[in-house]
Amino acid sequence: MSEFLALHDIICRMRAAQAPRDVWKLVVDSFHARGIEKISYHRYQTPLTSDDETSSIRVIADGFSSDWVCHYIEAKLFLVDPIPGYARLAATPFFWSDIPKLTRIGEVENAYLKEMEEANLGDGIAFQVFGPAMNNAYVGLGFAQGTPRPSPTEIAELQCIAQTAHIRVCELQLMDFETRFELSRRELEILRWIARGKSNSVIADILEVSHHTVDTHVRRVFDKLGVTDRTSAALRGVGSGLILPP
């Protein structure tokens, strides 16, 4: 049985965590101690950086059978699973079993729900957590068979734990990004203007520096980000959380 920590203690430990894996372990232990058997975390990256929308989704799970997790990822069931899709629109958490009553379900989505039922996944709650630069994620928490539905207060606590964890992971990854690419304050400033579609000459006028200076900074930004064009630089900056979408 996992140690039951008060919400305040969980938040303090998350703030002290220095790696995403440490945050995940604390999340798993905290949820298990609260009667959660299965945990699903779908990380979305917006805007998309390729034509393949699946490249912007990462699925992490605990408590599900390895066969189901492999099938879910390999068959790209996250593209037809209606629960994460509705969670991205819902203002409050909802139960998995209520999804047919909450939104219109098509034939493909119904087939998925049937497959989910046959896999004996049981019921759970779903909600979205929010991060910087639209780095949001879906969280699904499944109950053990026979476990009563949590109360609204208990659900709010689970949601708080997940949201705190997601923010901490975003912070740690941003710190790692800044360390790896080491963009200077001026380079970050120029990257922000690039993302807004400004040309080098316009950026030079805005910053009151020479065109040559901006050209030099832009080349350095491209080199540090590992890109060769302005669009890729803007996408890399927004996707990492270094800059906000224009």
| Final residue belonging to a domain, choices 136, 152, 175 | 175
Q: Residue 86 in contact with residue 112, Cβ under 8 Å?
A: no
- Tell me: do 149 and 236 sit in the same domain: no
**For residue 245, is it within any domain?**
no
* 189: Cα within 13 Å, side-chain hemisphere: 11
- Tell me: do 104 and 197 sit in the same domain: no
* Total number of domains in the chain: 2
- Tell me: do 124 and 235 sit in the same domain: no
Q: Terminal CA-to-CA distance of the chain, rounded, Å?
A: 47
| The pLDDT of residue 47 | 42
- Tell me: do 201 and 90 sit in the same domain: no
| Final residue belonging to a domain, choices 120, 149, 175 | 175
Closest to 144 in 3D by CA, of 124, 167, 125, 166: 124
CATH number for the domain that contains residue 213? 1.10.10.10
Dist. CA 208–CA 210, nearest whole Å: 7
**For residue 195, is it within any domain?**
yes
- Tell me: do 145 and 191 sit in the same domain: no
- Tell me: do 83 and 46 sit in the same domain: yes
- Tell me: do 77 and 139 sit in the same domain: yes
**For residue 180, is it within any domain?**
no
**For residue 1, is it within any domain?**
no
| The pLDDT of residue 245 | 62
- Tell me: do 105 and 41 sit in the same domain: yes
CATH number for the domain that contains residue 90? 3.30.450.80
| The pLDDT of residue 223 | 87
- Tell me: do 137 and 86 sit in the same domain: yes
Task: Extract the tokens encoding 71.
Answer: 């099938």
- Tell me: do 199 and 140 sit in the same domain: no
**For residue 119, is it within any domain?**
yes
| The pLDDT of residue 59 | 86
- Tell me: do 145 and 203 sit in the same domain: no
pLDDT digits (tens, 9 = 90+) for 46-80: 443 434 444 457 889 999 999 999 899 889 898 89
Instruction: Give the pLDDT of the chain (246 residues) as one tens digit per residue.
Output: 678 999 999 999 999 999 889 999 999 999 999 999 999 999 875 443 434 444 457 889 999 999 999 899 889 898 899 999 999 999 999 999 999 999 999 999 999 999 999 999 999 999 999 988 778 999 999 998 888 899 999 999 999 999 999 999 988 877 766 556 678 889 889 998 998 899 999 999 999 999 999 999 999 999 888 888 898 888 877 766 666 665
Q: What is the DSSP string of 53-120?
A: GGGGEEEEEESS-HHHHHHHHHTTGGGT-HHHHHHTT-SS-EEGGGHHHHS---HHHHHHHHHHHHTT
- Tell me: do 199 and 145 sit in the same domain: no
Count the neighbouring beta carbons within 10 Å of the beta carbon of residue 12: 11
pTM for this predicted structure: 0.73
Cα angle for residues 191, 197, 199 (degrees, 5° grid): 80
Dist. CA 197–CA 122, nearest whole Å: 49
| The pLDDT of residue 185 | 84
| The pLDDT of residue 177 | 61
**For residue 58, is it within any domain?**
yes
| Final residue belonging to a domain, choices 175, 195, 228 | 175
What is the DSSP-derived secondary structure letter of residue 37?
E
**What is the residue range of 46's domain?**
7-175
Count the neighbouring beta carbons within 10 Å of the beta carbon of residue 185: 7
| The pLDDT of residue 181 | 64
**What separation in angstroms does the CA of 155 have from each of 23, 24, 43, 210?**
20, 19, 20, 56
